[in-house]
Amino acid sequence: MWITKTSIKNPVFATMVMVALVVLGLASYSKLGVESMPNVEIPFAWVEVNYPGASPEQVENDITRPLEEAVNTVSGVKKIMASSWEGRAGVSVEFELSTNADKAMIELRDKVARVRPTFPKEAKEPFIIRAETENSQPIIELSLTSPTRSLRDLSTLTEQVISKRIQGVAGVGQVRINGKTNRQILVSLKPDALTSQNVGVDEVLRAIQATNANLPAGNISYGSAERLVRVEGKIKDAQGFNKIIVARRASGPVYLEQVAQIIDGEQEEQSYTRTNGARAISLEISKVQEANVVEVGNRIRKEVEKLRASLPPDVKISILRDEAVQVQAQLDNVKRTIMEGALLTMLIVFLFLHSWRSTIITGLTLPISVLASFIAMKFFGFTLNFLTLMALSLCIGLLIDDAIVVRENIVRHLAMGKSHLRAAYDGTNEIGMAVMATTFAIVAVFVPVAFMDGIIGRFFLQFGITVAVAVMVSLFVSFTLDPMLSSVWRDPVKDRFKYLPWLGRMMESIEHGIDRVHVWYGKVLAWALRWKKTTLAAAFMMFVGSLALMPIIGGEMMPETDQGFIHMQFKTAVGSSLEYTDSKVRQVEAALKDFKEIDTVIATAGTWDGRNAGQVNIKLTDKKVTHRRSQKELEKAIRTRLEPIAGINLSVGNRPIYIAILGTDEAKLDQVARKMMEKMKAVKGVADMEYSQEGANPATIVKIDNEVASDLGLSVQQIGTALRPFVAGDQISRWLAPDGQNYDINVQLPKSGRQKIADLGDLSVASSKRDAMGNPIMVPLRQAVQFVPSTSPQVLKRQALERRVAIYAGVEGRPTGDVNSDVEKAIKTVELPEGVRLAVGGEAEEMANTMAAAGVALGIAVVFIYLVLASQFGSFLQPIAIMMSLPLSMIGVLIALLVTGSTMNIFSV
């Protein structure tokens, strides 16, 4: 081959080529980003609209359905899932992978903007975000606590000092603050004073909005100068709200302070957050997309140390979770594995070739191939992540294969008495095509992996390309550097171990052992050739027997790993108050104190799922230091410890089982769901089951007697406008405070005045009719309305423009894939009424899609291997004989998985 001949004739040139690869590889390595997983853009979007005070039914009718129908017309939409909560609508949009995400987001915003005018005026502006990639999730979470400061003071310090300092760190993208309390101006209405002063709530709202405003008036030009004119009406001081005139009556002006109390306070808390039992504020810090996660993490930790030195002594800042440290630890483990694999590989080469020169010549292939792979990774925009490093780890043995074969054949030609130059060329040229065929066969296996369909294909793109590039570089090195070094670096035939006789004796012993293996193998081969049918039958039985191990091994999407972090969530009875939920959270916190393996507990009462929902995040101690139990063992122990706590539906860890039941008849959906849950309870391994429509919130319907209301001068609009600020509160304006921050102005009854339904009947609403003095007549609500007890679902879910109910479940004690399979078999026994259909999602859907993609990739790989081998042997039949050994490799694979306690998952496949 010309490439080999050129290298042998020009050793300096060949050496410089290798040096160039090393230098460029090191430069590329220094510039590669570091991530946990490949940075894959997930084609999702989230649309949210707040509709304060509205029931889930009203949210669904007024917001969710119009929004859902508008979003459904966006090009490239694959799946739409919508949820309607109390006062909030959310729509999740999944696009086809081939969709241009930027154009899709522009079209999505346009469609939402078009449907926005149809929403009720009380609805807030839609909030649209592009779903984040895995690597744009928070990399560090901080916690702030203080034993002396109020939550409001701590919130102010966090917003105005700490978050801004963190935001200024190079590479930091977003800083999200959780658990804070927001300052607000509360206009606490006095119902009796409103009635006595004959002032309607609508008058209060209009007066505040009209007074607290700055308005531009234009410009005045005189001569060559120009002066800006503006009207300043914004309230400068919180107490200035007291003097707002809300109405004028015969007795004179009515000031706001006469009908309401102005409180410079905080918003009503919708959740409580604690860290190790103390009220806390947390900061979730994300990096910008292209930043190196490890470097950003290091900078953040340095800034945290500076903050600790400058903050008041009563404020404690601590790191709850640090993904950067975990990522670095994972990558260090893989790097260590690569180094160990390389050293063991070279040791084995030395033991078999008995020459340290041969070991070095072949061993040089490893670092050069790996470093050259970094050049390709930089060129393609890849990062150092778990999959790319796993690719390099996997192909350590493959990289040196070509070099070993080439070097051993050169040594064989030297034994024939040829010169080093002739032996190097002839030895390489003789097996060149065979080595190329072997390498191309490897490439044929891994390139299809890089182009699998679906999200999994996007993740494994870097894996497949990295392996392919590395083995191709190793082929290049084997055809250039190896024969060149073999031609100039002569290996003595005799007295190799002259100065290390003990090593020579050990090599002779190893050689004798290898010879005995050769003899034994020859006998086995002769027996197999003599008894062909028996050999084939034994191989077939072993293959079938190994397949019987698959149910024992089990399957899952991803292998379970110990992350040192446990997430729990639970719900109390539907309709529970925030205080009741918090009492249950405290019981959970107290129970967790029994576990010495727990380092930090972050507990929250009240989440987006409602006031009856809580969550607890647990940071475990360092396993290497404390030798604690595994995360899975602790999850089981925690679940058992928390079982005696009554009144909560607990879920420990993630819940990979998801079953959606779709249709239009709610009664049928509920009936089918409950039957399926009964079937699922009998499946071994199912845990922490939850039904999306379990229970309903207590509600009250205000029924208006239209005739009576009309006689009293009241309309539906007037009654609704008055009730909203009385009950839900109305954020009518913003106040620019002296500290330069804008705060909400909220008009609402005090909490004590809106705890009993009966109290609402005593509230008076301003009528359109006037008394003799020209004042509006104040009408108690009970004269025109009835308050009827009712119920309202906690959430209404939809999918594909249909009503959806969902069943979620976790897994305990068995592989997820096995439990999913048994669950699917169990629910198929439930007969579906007309108009009802199933949509199985969660890990079962992901695993099915992944295995299908892997199956296609495997099929393509087999075809390409055949093409390569057929080209090599010039025969259509001989490659089939060789490829018959492929299925038999499953024997060793399945036995190894069984012995190591591993499962069939995306990595083992």
Rounded to an integer, what distance in angstroms lies between the CA atom of residue 464 and that of residue 471? 11
Burial 357-377 (b: 16+ CB within 10 A, else e): bbbebbbbbbbbbbbbbbbbb
Report the chain's terminal Cα–Cα distance, integer Å: 37
Give residue-wise pLDDT tens across range 829-887: 999 999 899 887 777 777 777 777 878 888 888 888 888 888 888 888 888 888 888 88
Rounded to an integer, what distance in angstroms lies between the CA atom of residue 892 and that of residue 688? 36
Those residues with Cβ within 8 angstroms of residue 655's Cβ, 6 or more apart along the chain or in another chain: 688, 690, 808, 809, 810, 842
299 lies in a domain?
A: no
What does the pLDDT read at residue 368?
Answer: 92
Q: Indicate whether 8 and 95 sit together in one domain.
A: no
What does the pLDDT read at residue 492?
Answer: 59
Which of 533, 556, 579 is the last residue before a domain boundary?
556
What does the pLDDT read at residue 497?
Answer: 65
CATH number for 364: 1.20.1640.10
DSSP string, 382-399: --B-HHHHHHHHHTHHHH
Q: Indicate whether 712 and 788 sit together in one domain.
A: yes
Q: Indicate whether 26 and 57 sit together in one domain.
A: no
The radius of gyration of the chain from alpha carbons, rounded to an integer in Å, stands at: 36
Q: Indicate whether 8 and 90 sit together in one domain.
A: no
Rounded to an integer, what distance in angstroms lies between the CA atom of residue 906 and that of residue 909? 5
Q: Indicate whether 114 and 187 sit together in one domain.
A: no
Q: Indicate whether 259 and 346 sit together in one domain.
A: no
Q: Indicate whether 476 and 532 sit together in one domain.
A: yes
Amino acid letter, 695: G
- Comparing CA positions, the residue from 748, 863, 871 lying closest to residue 53 is 748
Angle (CA) 371-376-382 rounded to 5° is 105
548 lies in a domain?
A: yes
Are the C-beta atoms of residues 798 and 82 closer than 8 Å to each other?
yes
Q: Both tokens of residue 738?
A: 């002296």
379 lies in a domain?
A: yes
Beta 278-279 vs 88-95: how paired, if at all?
unpaired
141 lies in a domain?
A: no
CA–CA distances in Å: residue 263 to residues 22, 124, 125, 207: 69, 25, 27, 17
Q: Indicate whether 81 and 228 sit together in one domain.
A: no
What does the pLDDT read at residue 162?
Answer: 93
Share of the chain above pLDDT 90, in %: 27
Give residue-wise pLDDT tens across range 668-712: 999 999 999 999 999 998 988 888 887 777 888 889 988 888 888
Which of 556, 577, 595 is the last residue before a domain boundary?
556
Those residues with Cβ within 8 angstroms of residue 533's Cβ, 6 or more apart along the chain or in another chain: none
Helices (H), 787-841: 816-827
Beta-carbon count within 10 A of 231 CB? 10
Helix, strand, or coil (residue 280): coil
**In the chain, how many domains are there?**
3
91 lies in a domain?
A: yes
Residue numbers of the chain with a pLDDT score lower than 70: 131-136, 491-499, 909
Beta-carbon count within 10 A of 128 CB? 17
Q: Which residue range forms the structural domain that includes residue 68? A: 43-131
Q: Indicate whether 19 and 91 sit together in one domain.
A: no
873 lies in a domain?
A: no
What does the pLDDT read at residue 498?
Answer: 67
Rounded to an integer, what distance in angstroms lies between the CA atom of residue 439 and that of residue 409? 17
Which of 793, 816, 842 is the last residue before a domain boundary?
793
Helix, strand, or coil (residue 89): strand
CA–CA distances in Å: residue 905 to residues 559, 654, 846, 849: 6, 17, 12, 13
- Comparing CA positions, the residue from 494, 142, 82 lying closest to residue 322 is 142
Contacts for 418-424: CB closer than 8 Å, 24+ residues apart? 420/486, 420/487, 420/488, 420/490, 421/8, 421/487, 423/486, 423/487, 424/4, 424/8, 424/483, 424/484, 424/486, 424/487
76 lies in a domain?
A: yes
Q: Whole-model pTM?
A: 0.75
333 lies in a domain?
A: yes
Q: Indicate whether 80 and 217 sit together in one domain.
A: no
Rounded to an integer, what distance in angstroms lies between the CA atom of residue 427 and that of residue 479? 10
CATH number for 736: 3.30.2090.10
Q: Indicate whether 100 and 24 sit together in one domain.
A: no
Amino acid letter, 519: V
CATH number for 75: 3.30.70.1430
For tokens 């669904």, the residue is 60
Q: Indicate whether 75 and 201 sit together in one domain.
A: no
